[in-house]
Amino acid sequence: MRRIAVASGKGGVGRTTIVASLGIALASLGKETVIIDGSLTTPDLALLFKLEKSVYTLNDALAGDAMFIDVMHLGPKRVKIVPAAVALEQIRKARPERLPELMRQVPKKTDFVLIDVPSGLSRETVSAMRAGQEVLLVATPEMTSISDAMKTRLIAEFLGLAPIGIVLNRVRREEFELTRNEIKNVPVLAEIPEDEKVRQALKQGKPLLELDSKSPAAKAIKELARKLLKMKGVASKTVISKK
């Protein structure tokens, strides 16, 4: 099982959009995949998958009121989604520090766990990272976004996660954008182009791969999924202690 924390240095770079469609892409390739919304105070995965009225959410599991298997919901291509609650009273009762412990309850047949990590350095951010073994960074190809992503990489490494690469999102090939050759320290695993279909998917409240699996951005995300399948995760290596 590979537990990948998908993180960004700042919000608004399309991290959640990528997590949702990447999970569907991996599931469509026959891999048992679970997507977890680690953004407890600003949950978006529930809205994308129309799970905002779910009886049980990650918050219940974090509060000790439900088991992990009880808060998994079936999505497109049989991807499993663990949404966070959108109601304020449920947000308050969650204990984000319990998320790493909950990973012991993930079904053993699972191949991939993708954790949507909120930006910043809050308690829920650190807890979401600690639940992972590897970190996949997401940034737009601007200097500030890349710089913030590199700081997030350092935090992830400090917490014991292995950085596997960065995804450049909303690439337009503008003169001011950084190219993959200008980004050092981590490999660029994918370049997701600016795509009108992404905005349409967000407007309709559904994942991109569910709206149009053949759009330019969808194709790039599916290629990213295939690339991840070819990579060896840290589960086959010595995992760094996270004490």
pLDDT tens digit string along 108-148? 999 999 999 998 888 899 999 999 999 999 999 999 999 99
The set of residues, in sequence order, having a beta carbon less than 8 Å from that of 186 and lying 6+ positions away, is 137, 150, 153, 163, 165, 166
Question: Element (H or E) spanning 192, and its range?
Answer: strand 188-193
Q: What share of the chain is helix, strand, coil (3-state, %, to 5)?
A: 45, 20, 40
Return the CATH number of the domain spanning residue range 2-231. 3.40.50.300
Eight-state DSSP code of residue 131: T
Nearest Cα residue to 73 out of 58, 91, 94 = 58
pLDDT at 57 over 60: yes
pLDDT at 234 over 90: no
The set of residues, in sequence order, having a beta carbon less than 8 Å from that of 84 and lying 6+ positions away, is 37, 38, 39, 40, 43, 45, 46, 57, 58, 59, 91, 94
Quick one: pLDDT at residue 235?
A: 53
Neighbours of 243 (CB within 10 A): 4
How is the beta sheet containing 162-171 ordered, strand by strand?
73-74, 80-82, 33-37, 112-116, 2-7, 134-139, 162-171, 188-193
d(CA 137, CA 167): 6
Quick one: pLDDT at residue 10?
A: 86
pLDDT at 182 over 70: yes
Q: What is the mean pLDDT of residues 55-80?
A: 96
Q: What is the mean pLDDT of residues 66-79?
A: 96
Quick one: pLDDT at residue 198?
A: 95
Q: 36 phi and psi, to 5 degrees?
A: -120, 130
Answer whether 0.75 is exceeded by the pTM.
yes
Q: What is the mean pLDDT of residues 60-72?
A: 96
pLDDT at 240 over 60: no
pLDDT at 242 over 90: no
pLDDT at 153 over 80: yes
pLDDT-based confidence at 241, cuts 50/70/90?
very low
Q: What angle do CA 54, 57, 63 make, to 5 degrees?
A: 140
Quick one: pLDDT at residue 90?
A: 84
Indicate the average pLDDT of the chain. Answer: 92
pLDDT at 71 over 60: yes
d(CA 72, CA 58): 8
